[in-house]
Amino acid sequence: MSSTELAQKSPGLATGLTSSSIGKKLFVAITGAALLAFAFGHMVGNLQVFMGQDQINKYAHALQGLGAALWVIRVGLIVMAILHIWFAVKLKLENWKARPVNYAYSNTVQAGLASRTMIWSGLLVFSFITYHLLHFTILATNPEYKSLTAMLNGQEVHDVYSMIIYGFKQPLISGFYIVMMFLLAYHLSHGIKSMFQTLGLNNERYEPKLNKLAIAIATIIFLGYISIPVAILAGLVKLPGGMTI
């Protein structure tokens, strides 16, 4: 067989990966790792709200200064999130088709609740991210936030500090945010363990430690994110004196 005929009969690398169970798991693990890195970095950036109005506005202004590159990053993250969900759903459907009915009970017992609800928690978190972008990034749900400005080094900038406070001072929104962050952490508690497994970093010797590490990372992200709405509702982070929208 010639090399040309072999190339025609052999699937491309990407096609081969996406058509195999191992390939799909690899895509889920890699996109999950990238999204986890973003979630951690985004949390660290948001926590600058505790450092005061100037600091969080300086951080936000620096991001806006990236211009088109910022939207390239955002679109890239959205694409990764879609791919992550797409391949995870395909794997779940394949597992449902392959699972014999008479083994359903034993499989359910062996699988933890976080594992069995990964698809649903992931879809709910993705829906929340969509709303979160509309709320704080695109400002579609609250266009009045566009009028919030502050002075930074003699320059008028968007007042992200006040926007965050106005957004989270509403108990319903903060409550919804906290619930979604819990679902994210719950999703991560299993997802991180699965990522280690897929990437070949897990074995019987390291599994207990990696399980604890996954729970620790998920807990840190949960506490880090919810600390902002909790602090705002408790009045620990306040608007600049006399400011109204």
Each residue's pLDDT tens digit in the chain (245 positions)? 444 444 444 455 455 556 678 888 888 889 999 999 999 999 999 999 999 999 999 999 999 999 999 999 999 999 999 999 898 888 888 877 776 554 444 444 434 666 677 778 788 888 888 888 889 988 999 999 999 999 999 999 999 999 999 999 999 999 999 999 999 999 998 888 888 888 777 777 778 888 899 999 999 999 999 999 999 999 999 988 756 55
- For 142, phi and psi rounded to 5 degrees? -135, 75
Residue 142 within any structural domain of the chain? yes
Residue 238 within any structural domain of the chain? no
Domain range enclosing 200 = 14-233
- Type and span of the H or E element at 52: none
CATH (domain of 111): 1.20.1300.10
Q: List residues bridging with 149 in a β-sheet.
A: 158
pLDDT of residue 51: 96
3 state DSSP class of 67: coil
Residue 243 within any structural domain of the chain? no
pLDDT of residue 117: 73
Residue 65 within any structural domain of the chain? yes
pLDDT of residue 152: 94
Number of domains in the chain: 1
Residue 9 within any structural domain of the chain? no
The answer to whether the beta carbons of residues 236 and 227 sit under 8 Å apart is: no
* C-alpha span between 73 and 167 (Å, rounded): 24
Cα angle value 113/115/121 (rounded, 5°): 85
Joined together, the tokens standing for residue 46 give 């948001």
Q: Position 18: which residue type?
A: T
- Type and span of the H or E element at 85: helix 68-98
* C-alpha span between 237 and 245 (Å, rounded): 17
Residue 244 within any structural domain of the chain? no
Residue 176 within any structural domain of the chain? yes
- Extract the runs of DSSP E, i.e. beta strands, from the chain: 149-152, 155-158
* C-alpha span between 195 and 214 (Å, rounded): 10
* C-alpha span between 192 and 126 (Å, rounded): 17
Residue 5 within any structural domain of the chain? no
- Going by their DSSP bridges, the two strands 149-152 and 155-158 should be labelled as antiparallel
